[in-house]
Amino acid sequence: MAEMTGARWRTSTRSSSNGGDCVEVADNLPGVVLVRDSKDRDGGTLAFGADVWRAFVGFAGGR
């Protein structure tokens, strides 16, 4: 699991359509992007390599 100390969480820009209650992202850590459910912050965190996350966002943004 990625080191989460210092993670600065923000609500995903894609979460605005449902009142902001969806996904939080921390992309301020070197080489890793963390993602969690804003309604269950203690429920678990996904960690992605920064390159993988950029590719995902690019793909999802084109939909």
Residue ranges per domain, the chain?
10-61
Kindly tell me if the per-residue pLDDT of 56 is higher than 80. yes
Quickly count: other Cβ atoms within 10 Å of residue 23's Cβ.
17
pTM, to two decimals:
0.78
Sequence-ordered list of residues with C-beta below 8 angstroms from that of 40, at least 6 positions apart, any chain: none
Tokens of 62: 């084109």
What average pLDDT is seen over the chain? 84
CA dist., res. 30 & res. 9, Å (int): 14
Kindly tell me if the per-residue pLDDT of 31 is higher than 80. yes
